[in-house]
Amino acid sequence: MPNKKVVIIGGGFGGMNVAKTLSNTNYDITIIDKANHHLFQPLLYQVATAALSPGDIATPIRSVFTKQANVKVVLGEVVEVSKTDQVVQLAEGDLIPFDYLVIATGAEYNYFGNEDWKKHAPGLKSLDDALKIRERILVSLEKAEKTPELEDRKPYLTFVVIGGGPTGVEMAGSIAEIAKRNMMRDYRNFHRNETTVYLVEAAGGILNGFSESLSDNALDTLTEMGVRVLLNTPVEEIRDNGVKLKNQYIETPNIMWAAGVAGTDLTNNLGEETDRIGRVKVNEDLSIPDHPNIFVIGDAAYFEDEKGNPLPGVAPVAMQQGKYVGNLLKNALSNSARKPFKYLDKGTMATIGRAKAVADIRGFKLTGFFAWLIWGVIHIFFLIGFRNRFRVFGEWIWHYITFKRGVRLIAHKENRE
Ligand SMILES: Cc1cc2nc3c(=O)[nH]c(=O)nc-3n(C[C@H](O)[C@H](O)[C@H](O)COP(=O)(O)OP(=O)(O)OC[C@H]3O[C@@H](n4cnc5c(N)ncnc54)[C@H](O)[C@@H]3O)c2cc1C
């Protein structure tokens, strides 16, 4: 009998863990991803703020499976899933059949119906996004350097981050460090005190999934770092060179979006029930109703814990679900009964800046340097590849000692003009 075919859409945290768990089995595995690399999204903001290079946080998916002969990698975007014919279709038209399918396509940013805001306020999801944001920041500083009048250069030295979740907090803290620290010494015609960083949040607090004390700590830390945090402030409009808030208009080309996520086109068109933000509602074994051979995992899935709370869109959920589905498929070869998926919450953390973070580890609430140290160790540990771990560790030590950001390159000619 030929080996059963497992097709995994998405080489992110979820998809990679399914494939790794199925090493040394009699499955033929195909991982399809529209990018050729696995991306460590939690450190994307460091690429966007010139602390790390793209290669430090991304690894070619193919190279991860060099030694796993039962894994094939296909570069391509899946545009359609036929549940009954058991086949997926790529954008180029290729058809790839499956016996088991794992959909691990992650999530996208939600602009709440205002798709035209996207071009003025990019989100941070891919390497391309991070490099665009990095260039925007660097180009803006160059324009400020060339603009003699203080009032005229103010927009170039103003930065707005929308969304007070972990990504927004990380971005705002990081930009504040760039703005207030040594990098500004390289510019001759403006002073670092001229820069303003805003973090805009529609709700009454930031880091809403965290306890009140940690979210207050993050707010105080950001304020001390010079970030102006605007709470209860929904965005009304985003234009080419500015953002309109409830009570004010901020003129700047530097607007970044980190507010809310939505499902991908593929999961939206799957014909399955989703929650309000487009995550596919899955059974307790992560399969979809009436299709025990099709699973949705990670950010793309909606799954409630025993208390009825939806699991958050974080890497540990995706990794544990990937391992769970991998083990479930291993057991399928021996026809074992399926046990429901259970998430083991080991804690949540968010970094705010150099030696500043908040962490909740099984009820223990940590702040400041110690929380930041744990954050750093965990992130280095989960990066794929010894070389990446070594390089990121080296960059961080360098940055910690010197405050310098090494990757301040404007690569695209059109941005320089
Ligand atoms: C900026 C940022 C910071 C974050 N920080 C943290 C953090 O500090 N801690 C934490 O735990 N989590 C963090 N997260 C969340 C975490 O990264 C996600 O929860 C995790 O990546 C989800 O894993 P996944 O496998 O479901 O999806 P992803 O890792 O997003 O992978 C999805 C993959 O699917 C591919 N794909 C999508 N659609 C298609 C298609 N149609 N065809 C082919 N391929 C497709 C994509 O290219 C991608 O490689 C952060 C996320 C972002 C964006």
Residues 256 and 167 in one domain: yes
> Cβ distance 355 to 403 under 8 Å?
no
Residues 237 and 162 in one domain: yes
Residues 244 and 269 in one domain: no
The pLDDT value recorded for residue 107 is 95
Q: Is the CB–ligand 1 distance for residue 141 below 6 Å?
A: no
Mind listing the pLDDT tens digit for each residue in 175-207?
Answer: 998 877 666 778 888 888 899 999 999 999 999
Adjacent-strand bridge partners of 29: 6, 71
- Pocket perturbation via mutation, ligand 1, pick of 105, 296, 319 by most ligand atoms within 8 A of CB: 105
Closest CA to 51 of 412, 397, 416, 414: 397
Q: Would 67 be classed as within a structural domain?
A: no
The pLDDT value recorded for residue 389 is 86
Residues 321 and 407 in one domain: no
Q: Would 65 be classed as within a structural domain?
A: no
Q: Would 148 be classed as within a structural domain?
A: yes
**Please, what's the largest Cα pairwise distance for the chain?**
76
Q: Would 56 be classed as within a structural domain?
A: no
Instruction: Tell me, in angstroms, the distance from the centre of ligand 1 to residue 41's CA.
Output: 6
Residues serving a catalytic function are 170
The CATH number that applies at residue 246 is 3.50.50.100
Q: Is the CB–ligand 1 distance for residue 33 below 6 Å?
A: yes
Residues 300 and 327 in one domain: yes
Q: Would 292 be classed as within a structural domain?
A: yes
Question: Would you say residue 273 has pLDDT above 60?
Answer: yes
Mind listing the pLDDT tens digit for each residue in 298-317?
Answer: 999 999 998 999 999 999 99
> Cβ distance 154 to 288 under 8 Å?
no
Which of 283, 300, 332 delimits the end of a domain? 332
Question: Would you say residue 415 has pLDDT above 60?
Answer: no
Question: Would you say residue 20 has pLDDT above 60?
Answer: yes
- Indicate the SS3 state at residue 238: strand
Residues 388 and 297 in one domain: no
Report, as an integer, the average pLDDT of 86-93: 97
Instruction: Tell me, in angstroms, the distance from the centre of ligand 1 to residue 125's CA.
Output: 7
Which residue's alpha carbon is at the smallest distance from atom 23 of ligand 1?
13
The pLDDT value recorded for residue 287 is 97
What total number of domains does the chain contain?
Answer: 2
The CATH number that applies at residue 316 is 3.50.50.60
Mean pLDDT of the chain: 92
Residues 176 and 216 in one domain: yes
Q: Is the CB–ligand 1 distance for residue 104 below 6 Å?
A: yes
Mind listing the pLDDT tens digit for each residue in 228-266?
Answer: 999 999 999 999 899 999 889 999 999 999 998 899 999
The rounded Cα 118 to chain-centroid distance in angstroms is 16
Candidate from 32-36, 110-114, 178-182, 218-222 with smallest mean pLDDT: 178-182
Q: Would 237 be classed as within a structural domain?
A: yes
The pLDDT value recorded for residue 336 is 73
Q: Is the CB–ligand 1 distance for residue 14 below 6 Å?
A: yes
Residues 412 and 357 in one domain: yes
Residue 379 alpha carbon, nearest atom of ligand 1: 8
Q: Would 64 be classed as within a structural domain?
A: no
Instruction: Tell me, in angstroms, the distance from the centre of ligand 1 to residue 327's CA.
Output: 21
Residues 98 and 156 in one domain: no
Which of 301, 332, 363 delimits the end of a domain? 332
DSSP secondary structure letter of residue 71: E
Q: Is the CB–ligand 1 distance for residue 34 below 6 Å?
A: yes
Mind listing the pLDDT tens digit for each residue in 158-169?
Answer: 999 999 999 999
Instruction: Tell me, in angstroms, the distance from the centre of ligand 1 to residue 14's CA.
Output: 8
Mind listing the pLDDT tens digit for each residue in 379-402?
Answer: 988 887 777 888 888 887 777 777
Rounded percentage of the chain residues whose pLDDT exceeds 90: 76
Q: Is the CB–ligand 1 distance for residue 298 below 6 Å?
A: yes
The pLDDT value recorded for residue 405 is 65
Q: Would 157 be classed as within a structural domain?
A: yes
- Indicate the SS3 state at residue 179: helix
The rounded Cα 342 to chain-centroid distance in angstroms is 23
Question: Would you say residue 270 has pLDDT above 70?
Answer: yes
Q: Is the CB–ligand 1 distance for residue 279 below 6 Å?
A: no
Which of 298, 332, 366 delimits the end of a domain? 332
Residues 15 and 87 in one domain: yes
CA distances from 65 to 6, 24, 31, 157, 181 (A): 15, 12, 10, 44, 41
Report, as an integer, the average pLDDT of 283-287: 96
Residues 355 and 222 in one domain: yes
**Which two structure tokens, joined as six digits, stand for 201?**
């949040």
Which residue's alpha carbon is at the smallest distance from atom 6 of ligand 1?
42
- Pocket perturbation via mutation, ligand 1, pick of 314, 358, 372 by most ligand atoms within 8 A of CB: 314
| Domain limits for position 82 | 4-34+76-107+263-332
Q: What is the DSSP string of 260-317?
A: -EE--HHHHTS-S-B-TTSPEE--TTSEETTEEEEEE-GGGEE-B-TTSPBPPS-HHH
Residues 95 and 237 in one domain: no
Q: Give the whole-angstrom CA distance, residue 407 versus residue 398.
A: 12
The pLDDT value recorded for residue 182 is 60
Report, as an integer, the average pLDDT of 147-151: 94
The rounded Cα 136 to chain-centroid distance in angstroms is 19
Report, as an integer, the average pLDDT of 32-42: 96
